[in-house]
Amino acid sequence: MAEKLKLDKSMAMFAEAQKLVPGGVAGIRRPYNFVIGEYPIFFENGKGGRIVDVDGNEYIDYLCAYGPISIGYREEEIDDAVIEQIKNKGFCFSLTQSIQNVLVNKLKEIIPCCEMAAIVKTGSDATTIAIRAARAFTGKLKVARCGYHGWHDWCVEVKGGIPEKLYEDVIEFHYNDLDQVEDICKKHADDLAAIIVTPVGHPLAAEVEMPKPGYLEGLRKLADQYGCVLIFDEIRTGFRCHIGGAQALFGVTPDLATFGKAMANGYAIAALVGRADIMNVMADNVFLSSTFFPNSDAQIAALKTIELLERDKMLDVIAAKGNKFAQDVEKVVDDSGINCRFSGAPWMPYITFPRDDEGLYKKLRTEFYTQLIRRKVFLQPYHHGYICYRHTDEDLAYTVQAIKESLDALKSLT
């Protein structure tokens, strides 16, 4: 068994934070989303593929800020480009800086569905304006959804403070179940505005799923048949699975798509991209505005990030590392005899524990992630991880061994 980490400063800061901030820290970063008492709560810094907490513990970080860090922390070329923009030109103005056009032209070049783009700040911004645009374009109301699409009223899972009328026209379906989507389309044929889906399935606390053969193609066909807008939520897959998103990788082009997270390697930016005729509803009929949407610091970061991804073929490197890591972990999982599963290769690694009637899976999950964090491998029990470009072969090999040792520690529980 590995020794418990020293986390005194994190715990003291959290006690203070609970008096200052609701919940102490925001949302999914709260301790109950990890293993309470075992994980740090506050980080101090990061570099490359590693992070350091306020107590001085260094970890190999596979959560990657929940996805934005595709290359690595504190990438000098990106940060230097942003610093130069801030020092020499500024980044927040009453009018738009010219870098907007450069970025959107680049998005048009690399993303199959992108004829126009609206630059926003967060994934929730992008998915919400996608739904608003789809409803305005079609004149219809109903939305079929699959996956996590953010914290706004129409889609958030936790319904506290939200009137039912704000989400009663949103119908959920299960990933890879094309028949279910067809049933929704038939039932709401005259009033279905959009189908929105994550092209790779990544439900909370469950295995990552790749699309079955014909699934995305089937969604495309149904959207065409029933006159609704097909939206790919590529907030996680964009600039990670492929430079043009999962739509380029799988060869299925949606009408609209949302991008964010890895788009700027940690800087706050997202985008809704898609067909010009749909996007143009935002020119007159649909309102979209924010003080900070046009800020050029994140746009500069996005351009530089895309430049590096293309120049150094970083996504090919990430995929190769992720596939090798997956092969090694799958062997460890198979040899362990523990009832667990590895999914998400090559981009979103995740080890899950299938439910059982006795509830043993909860004990196994808690103990596994306890042992893993004590070995200074930062993953999350209820959310998949990510492989970034700066994860070294040594990092990955160490992690495979840490996973093996952590699984071995579970044998006394079975």
Q: Are residues 102 and 116 in the same domain?
A: yes
Q: How confident is the model at residue 393 (pLDDT cuts 50, 70, 90)?
A: very high
Q: Are residues 68 and 80 in the same domain?
A: no
Domain-ending residue, one of 246, 277, 311: 311
17 falls within a domain: yes
Q: How confident is the model at residue 413 (pLDDT cuts 50, 70, 90)?
A: confident
Q: Are residues 239 and 377 in the same domain?
A: no
Each residue's pLDDT tens digit, 213-245: 999 999 999 999 999 999 999 999 999 999 999
Domain-ending residue, one of 311, 339, 355: 311
Tell me the pLDDT of the chain averaged across its residues. Answer: 97
Q: Are residues 332 and 370 in the same domain?
A: yes
Q: Are residues 224 and 291 in the same domain?
A: yes
Residue keyed to tokens 């005259």: 190
| Contact in structure between 269 and 103 (CB atoms under 8 Å) | no
Q: Are residues 195 and 144 in the same domain?
A: yes
Q: Are residues 82 and 53 in the same domain?
A: no
Q: Are residues 287 and 371 in the same domain?
A: no
Q: What proportions of the chain, in percent to the nearest 5, are helix, strand and coil?
A: 40, 15, 45
Each residue's pLDDT tens digit, 251-291: 999 999 999 999 999 999 999 999 999 999 999 999 999 99
2 falls within a domain: no
* Residue 63 CB partners (closer than 8 Å, separation 6+): 378, 379, 380, 383, 385, 386
Amino acid 414: pLDDT: 80
- Does the pLDDT value for residue 364 go beyond 80? yes
For residue 339, give the CATH number of its domain: 3.90.1150.10
In the chain, the number of structural domains is 2
Q: Are residues 154 and 269 in the same domain?
A: yes
Q: Are residues 102 and 209 in the same domain?
A: yes
Mean pLDDT of 393-413: 96
Q: Are residues 125 and 234 in the same domain?
A: yes
403 falls within a domain: yes
Amino acid 302: pLDDT: 98
Neighbours of 357 (CB within 10 A): 6
3 falls within a domain: no
- Does the pLDDT value for residue 1 go beyond 80? no
- Does the pLDDT value for residue 207 go beyond 90? yes
State the residue range of the domain holding 349: 8-73+314-413
Each residue's pLDDT tens digit, 115-130: 999 999 999 999 999 9
Q: Are residues 404 and 370 in the same domain?
A: yes
| Contact in structure between 211 and 250 (CB atoms under 8 Å) | yes
- Does the pLDDT value for residue 412 go beyond 90? no
Domain-ending residue, one of 279, 311, 343: 311
